[in-house]
Structure 1
């Protein structure tokens, strides 16, 4: 019998693969698939928009179980900024969430930071920190290069 984590390691060959699996699991309210992307480290953490810091696999699982009771999360990652250094990758993501408003479907925005670690089982999520955003957050403030080439 194969180790299920080893089976999924090929699917999580890069931080981008792990991120894709994470967001697809959110979109499908698939708790098992969602938990497969998380690292086994004791100090993994998750912060939902406006919520407390949730530490450890059991607490993260319980938090997402509660979230999924409301159904799948229609979230799409946009404008991903990546910093990759060796065995760590940090992705800053603007998340678009479809919500039902008084005038029908509308987009809500969340600003998230996802931290991935390269493990013996492939790339795994170690931190997901999401903060409420606004339509203004669609615009990015980017520092101009200080040296002209």
Structure 2
């Protein structure tokens, strides 16, 4: 059984990750990640990024091309096998697009894997994939 207190810690670490991204704060983003083992990340439609240099470069590219981004996290489920935990969730992303500042909304399925160290839970893996909705069939 997952301890509610530990699950809350993992969810707080998960939220810090999204808060860092919403703030477009590279330093806060780096603080979310584990220093070991080597972190890995894949964004929808992108290649695997392995090691902090590649992961950081990927986030820097996203942050430098983003004027506004907001995450609503839905369907978050925490699983823990101490000292590892993961959160599976749906990211509902609102971001500014185009010159006119219109917003777009997308849904992405994400898995965030955390490792526990002496200072708390830190990301070791972020994997995100587009959500594919089944087509509705007329009856």
Please indicate, yes or no, whether the TM-score normalized by the shorter chain is above 0.5: yes
* 1:120 counterpart = 2:118: yes
- Could you tell me how far 1:107 is from its partner in structure 2? 2.4
Secondary structure of the corresponding residue to residue 41 of structure 1:
coil
Q: Give the total of aligned pairs.
A: 123
- RMSD over equivalenced CA pairs, Å: 2.1
Counterparts of 1:40 and 1:101, CA distance in 2: 33
- Could you tell me how far 1:59 is from its partner in structure 2? 1.2
- 1:100-138 Cα shifts (integer Å, max 9, x gaps): 589x5442100000000111121110000001124x38x
Secondary structure of the corresponding residue to residue 123 of structure 1:
strand
Match of 1:130 in 2: 128
Match of 1:44 in 2: 39
Unaligned runs of 5+ in 1: 1-12, 138-149
Q: TM-score, normalised to structure 2's length?
A: 0.79
Match of 2:90 in 1: 94
* 1:25 counterpart = 2:23: no
Secondary structure of the corresponding residue to residue 46 of structure 2:
coil
Task: Judge conservation of contact 1:42–1:57 (CA < 8 Å) in 2.
Answer: no
